[in-house]
Structure 1
Amino acid sequence: PYYGTRPREGEKPGLWLVGDEGVYIMSNGKLAEGSRALVVYAGQCHPRGDGDWWDYKRRHFGADDGIEFIEAERLIPLFGRNMSATHLNV
């Protein structure tokens, strides 16, 4: 079971681009009970490692918190093009 932006609405596999305390991506897949989601922070926007993360987040994501859903069907062709890629540019 996968979720779009709300449970039981638009259930599709994908990633969430999250602007909160930093900017990160995470899977939108349903987690097993008791497990925690893996998050991958944007370069220069990790609150524990980058001193100016707030300015970077505000400049590139906006001052408000939010979530953007990215469908897996849009990402899979990108992954197949370059197997040595190390970054996702959004």
Structure 2
Amino acid sequence: MFTFPLSAVRAVIARGEADAAANGGFRNPHYGLASGKDEKPGLWLVGDQGVYVLSNGKLPDGGKPMVCYADECNPGSNFDWWEYKRRYFGGDDGIEFLAAEKILALADDRPSATHLRIDLDENSIGISVLAR
């Protein structure tokens, strides 16, 4: 399980949309292998040096996307981030696309929610919101 503050997730989505408007659309996470897929507002869930979500709007040359680390898997604040990542995300690096419309709909349906929760297993990704 990975949790992200909803306020930060909303900011990452908004930043991606602003970057897309300024720079010609959304980036494709499939390195050209699936052209036209996932080129819409959303987040990329990334596992490498920690687990985080980042904005997917196209960036200007040298631009950096906005990033939000999972509470449980932030190398800057959690000494055991590598073990947690390996256990719940896997030892390899990876990336998954999460549609902004689905995340925002979940959050809007539950105004008291404070965090996005993402659960991973070998075959699926579960997305929910919770109040802390």
Question: By the TM > 0.5 criterion, same fold?
Answer: yes
CA contact (8 A) 1:4 1:13 kept: no
Question: Against the structure 1 CA distance between its residues 34 and 84, is the aligned structure 2 distance closer, same or farther, given a 3 Å change threshold?
Answer: farther
TM-score, normalised with respect to structure 2:
0.61
Aligned length: 90
Kindly indicate whether residue 95 of structure 2 is the aligned counterpart of residue 67 of structure 1: yes
Runs of at least 5 residues in structure 2 that lack an aligned partner in the other structure: 1-24, 119-132
CA contact (8 A) 1:14 1:27 kept: yes
Return the structure number with greater helix share: 2
Cα deviation, residue 52, structure 1 = 0.5
CA contact (8 A) 1:14 1:69 kept: yes
Task: Please point out which of 34, 37, 52 is paired with 1:24.
Answer: 52
Return the structure number with greater strand share: 2
Distance in 1, matches of 2:85 and 2:98, equals 19
CA contact (8 A) 1:3 1:13 kept: no
CA-based RMSD of the aligned residues comes to: 1.7
TM-score, normalised with respect to structure 1:
0.86
Runs of at least 5 residues in structure 1 that lack an aligned partner in the other structure: none
Percent identical among aligned pairs is 52
